[in-house]
Amino acid sequence: MPELPEKLFLNMAKALFWVERNSVMGLAKRRGIKAEERDYYFKDFHADAMSGEVFEVFARGTAGGLIAVGSLYCSPDEMKTSNGTTSGEFLTGNGETGDLTKKLMLALLGIQDGTRDDPFGWLHKIWDEDLP
């Protein structure tokens, strides 16, 4: 199993909105991982995944929380590998939830359900008497 990364790359233009962006970046930074926003094209991602440089992938959404991505599919017509063969489906890492994804997932869930401290001030309690 590879060591945890020193850097986390996020493509925010299409994948995440600011709440999700801030939660993922905040959790990563608290673990000492440099979180960076930049364009990251599928062709580059595919090459990095095939070389082993990318060994863990997750998606983040408002309702779904943090979800591991074990494999991706690209139409063979859209992507060819460096040796000219088509790619189709490919695994990220070993196809299972990676260590960093598990840690970030548990941290986020713990903050959301109140079993972990909220160092970011994300939670705001709403009391019954505050409701109309």
Residue spans of the domains in the chain: they are 7-130
User: In terms of DSSP bridges, do strands 58-61 and 65-68 run parallel, antiparallel, or are they unpaired?
Assistant: antiparallel
Q: For 73-130, write each residue's pLDDT tens digit.
A: 776 666 655 555 555 677 777 888 889 899 999 998 898 888 999 998 888 778 888 8
7-130 is classed in which CATH architecture? Alpha-Beta Barrel (3.20)
**C-alpha dist (Å) from residue 21 to 12, 95, 101, 103:** 7, 24, 15, 17
| pTM recorded for the entire structure | 0.69
